[in-house]
């Protein structure tokens, strides 16, 4: 049979749709919209194989609206305008039911292509349904995004995927010819990664490797034997990229080397640029560890230099060492907080004058104007310190650096307290 199993099993009605109960359950937003007959323009955002295209088709069928479809992979502005013209003409036959224009992978449209949709959506010539695997906040222009509702579709859970397999065995005309016993599903579900389409494709591949006269028992070992190792789903420019690097950084910040190494492995197996990972470690070493352990910055910098020379696959060892070191290091964001406070103060107070005593005085005129007067050269004093005012008059005594509560920065606190006494309240 030439038509893939996933296509043969594609539901035609909302009642047959599995998963996404927050959208299509009894009180789901799409269920209620279909009952009311008011369908807004919308964008379905979710991983591959979560039923975005299927939902668009069901909405069109159940709302009895003309349905037009484009794929952003091979459509241009000309194609968009042609479809909109057709939709406007067919929409003339309806009073409240304007046609639906479904655009698959809408994130692939350029800004000008997305711009060409604005008027049609604004005027109500079409109801736009876009499907994307990428975060619409990054990939859809604000003007179009503001005219659409964004609905998130989640990866199928184990219960949904097992129900889908049972439906395939019971309802598919071709698979019903086989004697199939679904004994174990863990490996099938793991290989699918929550992608229903992928699950059904793998399942059909396994079943059709047997003869129709065979009695087939699906076990984890059978699946592992029949199917090669799956490729980790990781889009280096998309949502997975941002989510996983976020999980990686937060695991290190949270001092969990086990989770940190796991997310590192996810990125490495997904083909992430090792220099990108090393750059993020370099930033983290200063932002989240800082003066609690200044060696962390040296370690991260050496890691960046090393992976730039070594490359893949050996660089994974260096990245792992640095990741574990940073995750196991004491943490402080005091340097990060200090520069943030300082920048905010600059924004609030503007270009305050530099005190005369610490201005540079390279010319005779500047010296006559008082530049550099009464400056105390620290090295001329005991312990290389002299009480002086270095901030502008209007913000004197403003404390921006608050040492963290860790062994290293507690010594900073004592040092500053001894020199500045009560000026900064350390």
For tokens 């005129």, the residue is 365
Q: Which residues pair with 378 in a beta bridge?
A: none
Centroid of chain to Cα 360: 48
In this structure, is residue 340 part of a structural domain?
Answer: yes
Number of domains in the chain: 4
pLDDT at residue 390 in the model:
87
147 and 177 co-located in one domain:
no
222 and 248 co-located in one domain:
no
C-alpha neighbours within 13 Å on the C-beta side of residue 282: 13
Q: Label residue 397 exposed, middle or buried (CB < 10 Å: 0-12, 13-18, 19+).
A: exposed
Q: Is the pLDDT of residue 52 over 60?
A: yes
Q: Is the pLDDT of residue 310 over 90?
A: no
pLDDT at residue 47 in the model:
85
Per-residue confidence band for 288, with pLDDT thresholds at 50, 70 and 90: very high
315 and 355 co-located in one domain:
no
pLDDT at residue 341 in the model:
93
Q: Label residue 182 exposed, middle or buried (CB < 10 Å: 0-12, 13-18, 19+).
A: middle
pLDDT at residue 95 in the model:
45
pLDDT (tens digit per residue) in 340-371:
999 999 988 888 888 888 888 888 887 888 88
205 and 276 co-located in one domain:
no
Dihedral sign for Cα 82, 83, 89, 95, please. negative
341 and 309 co-located in one domain:
no
pLDDT at residue 240 in the model:
66
pLDDT (tens digit per residue) in 68-104:
888 888 888 888 888 888 877 765 444 457 889 999 9
pLDDT (tens digit per residue) in 105-152:
898 888 888 998 998 898 888 899 999 988 888 889 999 999 999 999
In this structure, is residue 377 part of a structural domain?
Answer: yes
Q: What are phi and psi of 421, to 5 degrees?
A: 45, -115
Indicate which CATH number applies to the domain containing 318.
Answer: 1.20.272.10
The answer for residues whose C-beta is within 8 angstroms of residue 44's C-beta and 6 or more apart is 52, 55, 56, 129, 130, 131, 132, 151, 153
Per-residue confidence band for 3, with pLDDT thresholds at 50, 70 and 90: confident
59 and 114 co-located in one domain:
yes
142 and 28 co-located in one domain:
yes
pLDDT at residue 42 in the model:
94
Calpha distance 422→426 (Å, rounded): 7
pLDDT at residue 92 in the model:
47
Over residues 278-293, mean pLDDT? 95
179 and 140 co-located in one domain:
no
Q: Is the pLDDT of residue 229 over 70?
A: no
27 and 94 co-located in one domain:
yes
310 and 370 co-located in one domain:
no
State which of 203, 226, 249 marks the end of a domain. Answer: 226
What does pTM read for this prediction?
Answer: 0.61
In this structure, is residue 138 part of a structural domain?
Answer: yes
Q: Is the pLDDT of residue 291 over 90?
A: yes
Indicate which CATH number applies to the domain containing 190.
Answer: 1.10.8.60
99 and 200 co-located in one domain:
no
In this structure, is residue 2 part of a structural domain?
Answer: no
In this structure, is residue 425 part of a structural domain?
Answer: no
In this structure, is residue 250 part of a structural domain?
Answer: yes
In this structure, is residue 10 part of a structural domain?
Answer: no
Q: Is the pLDDT of residue 322 over 90?
A: yes
DSSP for 390-421, written as a single string: -S-GGGTT-------SSHHHHHHHHHHHHHHT
- Proportion of the chain above pLDDT 90, given as a percent: 33
Q: Would residue 311 be called left, alpha or beta, if left means φ above 0 and alpha means ψ between -120 and 50 degrees? A: left
Buried/exposed code over 36-67 (b: 16+ C-beta within 10 A; e: otherwise): eeebebbbbbbbebbbbbbbbbbbbebbebbb
Q: What are phi and psi of 43, to 5 degrees?
A: -125, 125
Q: What are phi and psi of 80, to 5 degrees?
A: -60, -45
**Where is 216: in which H helix or E strand?**
strand 215-218
Calpha distance 45→21 (Å, rounded): 15
What three-state secondary structure class fits 33? helix
The region of weakest confidence among 185-189, 287-291, 418-422 is 418-422
For tokens 């668009």, the residue is 56
Domain extent, residue 101, equals 20-152
State which of 105, 122, 152 marks the end of a domain. Answer: 152
Indicate which CATH number applies to the domain containing 136.
Answer: 3.40.50.300
In this structure, is residue 310 part of a structural domain?
Answer: yes
310 and 359 co-located in one domain:
no
State which of 122, 152, 182 marks the end of a domain. Answer: 152
Indicate which CATH number applies to the domain containing 358.
Answer: 1.10.3710.10
């Amino acid at each position: 049979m030439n038509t893939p199993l996933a296509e043969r099993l594609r539901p035609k009605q909302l009642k047959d749709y599995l998963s996404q109960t927050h959208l299509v359950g009894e009180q789901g937003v799409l269920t209620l919209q279909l009952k009311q007959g008011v369908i807004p323009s919308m964008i379905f955002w979710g991983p591959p194989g979560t039923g975005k295209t299927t939902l668009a088709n069901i909405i069109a069928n159940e709302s009895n609206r003309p349905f037009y479809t484009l794929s952003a992979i091979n459509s241009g502005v000309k194609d968009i305008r042609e479809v909109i013209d057709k939709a406007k003409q067919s929409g003339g036959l309806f009073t409240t039911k304007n046609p639906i224009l479904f655009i698959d992978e809408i994130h692939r449209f350029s800004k000008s292509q997305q711009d060409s949709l604005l008027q049609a959506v604004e005027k109500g010539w079409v109801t736009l349904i876009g499907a994307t695997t990428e975060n619409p906040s990054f990939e859809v222009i604000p003007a179009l995004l503001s005219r659409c509702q964004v609905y998130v579709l989640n990866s199928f859970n184990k219960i949904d995927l097992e129900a889908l397999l049972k439906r395939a065995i019971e309802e598919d005309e071709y698979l019903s010819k086989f004697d199939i016993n679904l004994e174990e599903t863990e490996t099938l579900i793991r290989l699918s990664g929550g992608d229903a389409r992928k699950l059904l494709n793998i399942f059909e591949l396994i079943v059709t490797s047997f003869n129709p006269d065979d009695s087939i028992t699906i076990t984890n070992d059978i699946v592992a034997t029949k199917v090669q190792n799956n490729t980790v789903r990781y889009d280096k420019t998309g949502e997975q990229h941002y989510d996983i690097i976020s999980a990686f950084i937060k695991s290190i910040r949270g001092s969990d080397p086990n989770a940190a190494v796991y997310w590192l492995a996810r990125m490495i197996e997904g083909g992430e640029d090792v220099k990108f990972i090393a750059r993020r470690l370099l930033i983290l070493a200063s932002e989240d560890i800082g003066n609690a352990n200044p060696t962390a910055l040296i370690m991260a910098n050496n890691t960046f230099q090393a992976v730039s020379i070594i490359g893949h696959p050996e660089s994974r060892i260096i990245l792992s060492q640095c990741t574990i070191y940073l995750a196991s290091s004491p943490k402080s964001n005091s340097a990060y907080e200090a520069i943030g406070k300082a920048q905010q103060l600059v924004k609030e107070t503007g270009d305050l004058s530099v005190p005369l005593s610490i201005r540079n005085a390279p010319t005779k005129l500047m010296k006559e104007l008082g530049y550099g007067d009464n400056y105390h050269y620290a090295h001329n004093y005991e312990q290389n310190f002299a009480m002086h005012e270095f901030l502008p008059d209007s913000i004197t005594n403003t404390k921006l650096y608050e040492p963290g509560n860790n062994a290293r920065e507690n010594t900073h606190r004592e040092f500053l307290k001894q020199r500045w006494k009560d000026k900064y309240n350390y």
